[in-house]
Structure 1
Amino acid sequence: MSTTRIPAEQLATALEPAVREHLSLAGNARVLELARTERGFATETYLFEVEVEVESGRTPLVLRRPPDLSLFPDYDLLRQVLVMRRLADTGLPVPAVAWLERGDNPLGSPYFVMNRLEGRAPSDYPSYHAAGNYFEATPEQRARMWWGCVDTIAEVNQLDWRALRLDFLAFPEHGAGVVEQGVNYLDAALKWACEGTPPETYRRAVAYLRDNRCEPEQPCLCWGDARMSNILYDNDFRVRGVLDWEIAHLGAPESDLAWLLFLDWACSEYEGHPPLPGTPTRAETIAYYEKRTGHEVRNLEYHEVFSAALLSIPLLRMTHRVQLPPEMNITGFCTARIEQLLG
């Protein structure tokens, strides 16, 4: 077995024996058109197709593996695989994991393969307010997409995480309550990302989060990366897939809503333009979520500060390890939102 991580151009050939084994396919099954997607950066994602006989058609699949540079101190493919497998029967349209490989294997790194859901995700880069299916949609269609995202967040937050055996998403080594755990994890992860003392804005954020900590009455399952670009929509702008569970955790109900609103601010106001027509306002979104869940939203700005600081971890890690020049300030939107919220 190889212990060296192989480059992308060798993945298709190295993957074929595992595809044949795990999918019980004939020895002539081939991996075709394997190509990396540009979405996300905490995990490398590749789309590919499997063909056994030309006349039998092709099966579209997805491979995910860690990046060359670890961007979170506790990154583990098993966590996201377990989340997706345990959400499989909840009605949420999550991908089905075919297999997970964590040991020595020809790819030279852990990886997993899952089915590929149909649909189109809003653009990441440039943002969905500037390109892609959200940009191209009518105001009414944009509203449908937005509410579909909020509905998805509400559904995730209302799941019974205990019955789903998702208690492993807690961080008991970082404290008692879920918010305390999150803040202490954030503090440790920021120091890890910077290999020392984080920038002053992030030290202020951690101090604010500690001083104003309030535990939720009922902790809930949080999607983590709750944003428009992690949803696949069909041609009628309905939700067809819910993606990216790397940072799923147990937290406060406001956590996912704060993440969505923070990133929408980053995709519009921070970029110097208003949200596209049809995009519901912050107040409308809060009111809709409250009606949908029966939960009164509290301390939303607190959780936005947490969201901005959490997202800065992989960005600070890349900045520090790759030694980006000062003009490449990839944490700028996180820093700006924290400073705006803290005043």
Structure 2
Amino acid sequence: MTERVDAEALASTLEPVVREQIPGAQEAKIVAWQRTERGFSTETYPFELEGSENSGAGFVFRRPPEISLFPDYDLRRQYLVSKRLAGTDLPVPRMLWIDNADNALGGPYYVMERIGNAEAPSDFPSYHTAGNYFEADEQSRARMWWGCVETMAQIHQLDPGELRLDFLSMPRFGDRPIEQAVNYLDWAVRWAAPSLSPVMEKALSWLRANIYEPEHVTLCWGDARMSNILYSPDHSVAGVLDWEMAYLGDHEADLAWMLFLDWACSEFEGHPSLPGTPTREQTIARYEELTGWPVRNLLFNEVLAAVLLSVPLLRLSTHLQLGEHADITAFCSRRLEQLLEHT
């Protein structure tokens, strides 16, 4: 078994593979190689080719992190979702190839085309304090926000069966979609940390006691937020990214995720949403208008979102032995306290 190649040697190791895989790149050299700061559950490296028919074109290399932040991390799953969404109207990057075998890079990876002249809003620091959303005017911010909501609604209108996405269901965790989601969370969060806080235990118990039957089971993006969208200079949606958390479930989970993370990026951090940002109520109303589906289980799905995001954060905290001195899950716990206060 080939050892995992260090980050410093990735580009030189990948270069001969690129020459074989990409037409017209037989003499190409990888240039502009860098690790992106976005995301933490998958290592991502944009690059370009010099001395080929593809000079100037952009590509992206992705591989699993050295320490997996989810117990069921599967690079092939996110590759297949993107590949099968290529025939829809969603602007997903074109997948080029995936290698899950014992290879020169020492582990699975895939390469895709990069969507050029587009940028995602900032995660760290918050898009309410830096980046293209912060720099936009009020009208453009509203356009970006609504672009994310419209993309989400578009995803939920797709037919998972027709797209051959049935593999995203989780039958090992139960017979019903919400039961599956709750059982998965219970398993994943206990995998991530040796012990759980009282509010986390309370949240899991509350979720289990409030399992319901969703009216619609759809493809869930899993990580629905503006920072997973590439926006063109005119602030229109140019690309939809990151499907590693995709699953089949209640579409309201994506709406809850977006609202939860925006709360974390604004109110929790102690600063207001930027002018032009639609309100929570406006967002829910617009989503209902786009889908024709009333939003009925948002509280449940916001609790679900806060527990789900705790999984990679608890895993990271446990691995780095951060202890109580650097609680990176504080915003998840705080939101759970707010949501469960009157339940």
TM-score tier, shorter chain, comes to: over 0.9
Normalising to structure 1: TM-score of the pair? 0.97
> Does structure 1 residue 101 correspond to structure 2 residue 99?
yes
Amino acid at match of 1:293: T
Q: Contact (CA 8 Å) 1:25, 1:52: kept in 2 or not?
A: no
CA distance in 2, matches of 1:95, 1:37: 16
Residue 173 of structure 1: aligned partner: 172
Residue from 319, 325, 328 that aligns with 2:326: 328
Aligned-residue offset at 1:296: 0.2
1:75 equivalent in structure 2: 73
Which residue of structure 2 aligns with residue 47 of structure 1? 46
Structure 1: segments with no counterpart, 5+ residues = none
Matching residue of 2:288: 290
- Specify the alignment match of 1:90 in structure 2: 88
In the other structure, the counterpart of 2:29 is: 30
Q: Give the direction of change, closer, same or farther, for the CA distance of 1:32–1:341 in structure 2 (3 Å limit).
A: same
Deviation at 1:299, TM superposition (A): 1.3
Partner of 1:251 in structure 2?
A: 249
| CA deviation map 1:251-290 (0-9, x unaligned) | 1121100000000000000011111011000000000000
Shift of 1:325: 4.1
Residue 105 of structure 1: CA displacement? Answer: 1.0
Q: What secondary structure does 2:27 align onto? A: coil
Whether contact under 8 Å (1:170, 1:250) holds in the other structure is: yes
Matched-pair contact (CA < 8 Å) for 2:264–2:331: yes
Residue 235 (str. 1) matches residue 233 (str. 2): yes
Return the letter of the residue paired with 1:223: W
Structure 2: runs of 5+ lacking an equivalent: none
Question: Take 2:278 and 2:198, find their aligned partners in 1: how far apart are those partners?
Answer: 34
In 2: Cα distance, 1:214 partner to 1:197 partner: 27
What per-residue deviation string (whole Å, max 9, x for no partner) do you get for residues 98-121 of structure 1?
000111111111100000012110
Instruction: Give the structure 2 partner of residue 123 of structure 1.
Output: 122
Distance 2:14 2:54 in 1: 20
2:155/2:221 contact within 8 Å kept: yes
Query: Which range is displaced more, 285-294 or 55-64?
Result: 55-64
State the distance in 1 between where 2:14 and 2:154 align: 35
Residue identity in the other structure for 1:234: S
The C-alpha deviation readout for 1:22-65, integer Å capped at 9, x for no partner, is: 11345321111211000000000001111234x97332100000
SS in structure 2 at match of 1:58: coil
Find the residue that maps to 2:48 and give its secondary structure: strand
Deviation at 1:203, TM superposition (A): 1.1
> One-letter code of the match for 1:270?
F
Partners of 1:201 and 1:300 lie apart in 2 by 19
Corresponding residue for 2:208? 210
Say whether the 8 Å CA contact 2:48–2:55 is kept in structure 1: no
Q: Whole-Å Cα distance in 2 between the matches of residues 198 and 17 of structure 1?
A: 47
Q: Which amino acid in 2 is paired with 1:191? A: R
Measured after TM superposition, the shift of residue 17 of structure 1 is 1.5
The superposition leaves residues 227-263 of structure 1 with CA deviations (integer Å, 9 ceiling, x where unpaired) of: 0100000111000000000000111121100000000
**Contact 1:30 1:52 (C-alpha < 8 Å) held by counterparts:** yes
2-side partners of 1:301 and 1:238: how far apart?
30
Q: Which residue does the alignment assign to 1:57? A: 55
| Pairwise CA RMSD | 1.2
Cα distance in 1 for partners of 2:284, 2:85 equals 25
Q: 1:114 matched to which residue of 2?
A: 112
Aligned mates of 2:24, 2:64 — CA distance in 1:
26
Does the Cα contact within 8 Å between 1:180 and 1:215 map onto a contact in 2?
no
Q: Distance in 2 between matches of 1:224 and 1:97?
A: 19
Displacement, 1:301? 1.3
Partners of 1:156 and 1:198 in 2: CA distance: 34
- Between the aligned partners of 2:188 and 2:25, the Cα distance in structure 1 is 45
Q: How big is the shift at 1:304? A: 0.5
1:263-302 to structure 2, matched below 5 A, reads: 263-302=261-300
- Indicate the residue corresponding to 2:224 in structure 1: 226
Sequence identity, in percent? 58
Q: Does the alignment pair 1:260 with 2:255?
A: no
Q: How many residues align?
A: 340
Structure 2 length-normalised TM:
0.97
